[in-house]
């Protein structure tokens, strides 16, 4: 499927926590059909950076741009183009997996049929658990419920904070397939992970994944442009 060309840019971002600077001069970009793995040591500020690029936290300096203009110029358009999944899965414990997907779509103003929701949950390995309340599910099943929202999302830009955490090997492979499919169709993915991640097209050919290593201000050296990593 052909997708319109899109551009997401991070320019000279800086962030501090209290009086302690975390990072500065962060620059990278994503175009349609690209994925970027944000790497870095624990505590360096990866989650803070993702929250900044999604408009959930302010930056000390720098700018986030979508389609050639600051996201502040049209925040509604940027939010419509964005799907963010952070450490907080934003699920309601009293609702079932199916009800959570339906509620999420309703809040976002998206049309989601029950068949589509059930299909998304089945693809994430939750067939037979669709009607269970979240409070009785394992942490891995809750995360798979949250990740099933990716399959129901129409947003071109996915920003995912440690999406592979608490997933078994089968679920990891399933998520890799979902991400690869999104990128192959012209979507964009920015994600963090403590493990190397490779993506493949349905025909088995590799999809290049860029990498950007976030460094603390104290250890920062000039950062090269994101590198393509071939599986």
User: For residue range 13-54, what is the model confidence (pLDDT) as tens digits?
Assistant: 999 988 899 999 999 999 999 999 999 999 999 999 999 999
What would the pLDDT profile of 85-125 be if each residue is shown by its tens digit? 998 999 999 999 999 999 999 988 888 999 999 999 999 99
What is the CATH superfamily name and number for domain 7-93+156-229? P-loop containing nucleotide triphosphate hydrolases (3.40.50.300)
Position 220 scores a pLDDT of 56
pLDDT exceeds 50 at position 1: no
Which tokens belong to 227? 């590198």
Helix (H) or strand (E) holding 39, with range, is strand 34-39
Which of 21, 37, 26 has its CA nearest to residue 189?
A: 37
Give the pTM.
0.90
Residues 23 and 15: beta-carbon distance below 8 Å = yes
Q: φ and ψ at 15, to 5 degrees?
A: -150, 145
**Which range (110-114, 128-132, 223-227) has the least confidence?**
223-227
C-beta pairs of 53-61 under 8 Å, 24+ apart in sequence: 53/10, 53/13, 53/159, 53/190, 54/82, 54/84, 54/159, 55/79, 56/84, 57/15, 59/13, 59/14, 59/15, 60/14, 60/15, 60/16, 60/21, 60/24, 61/12, 61/13, 61/14, 61/24
What would the pLDDT profile of 155-207 be if each residue is shown by its tens digit? 999 999 999 998 999 999 999 999 999 999 999 999 999 989 999 988 889 99
Q: What is the mean pLDDT of the chain?
A: 91
Position 75 scores a pLDDT of 94
Q: How far is CA 167 from CA 89, 158, 163, 196, in A?
A: 14, 19, 9, 15
């Amino acid at each position: 499927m052909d997708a319109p060309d899109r551009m997401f840019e991070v320019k000279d971002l800086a962030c501090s926590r209290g009086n302690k600077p975390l990072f500065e001069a962060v620059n990278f970009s994503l175009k349609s059909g690209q994925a970027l793995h944000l790497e870095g040591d624990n505590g360096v500020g990866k989650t803070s950076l993702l929250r900044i690029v999604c408009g959930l936290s302010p930056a000390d300096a720098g700018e986030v741009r979508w389609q050639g203009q600051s996201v502040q110029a049209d925040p509604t358009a940027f939010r419509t183009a964005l799907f963010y999944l952070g450490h907080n899965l934003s699920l309601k414990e009293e609702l079932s997996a199916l009800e959570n997907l339906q509620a999420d779509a309703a809040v976002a103003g998206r049309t989601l049929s029950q068949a589509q929701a059930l299909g998304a949950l089945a693809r994430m390995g939750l067939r037979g658990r669709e009607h269970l309340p979240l409070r009785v599910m394992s942490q891995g099943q809750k995360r798979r419920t949250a990740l099933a929202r990716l399959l129901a999302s129409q947003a071109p830009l996915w920003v995912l904070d440690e999406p592979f955490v608490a997933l078994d090997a089968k679920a990891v492979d399933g998520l890799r397939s979902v991400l690869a499919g999104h990128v192959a169709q012209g979507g964009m993915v920015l994600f963090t992970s403590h493990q190397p991640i490779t993506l493949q097209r349905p025909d088995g050919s590799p999809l290049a994944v860029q990498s950007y290593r976030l460094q603390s201000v104290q250890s920062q050296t000039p950062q090269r442009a994101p590198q393509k990593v071939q599986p």
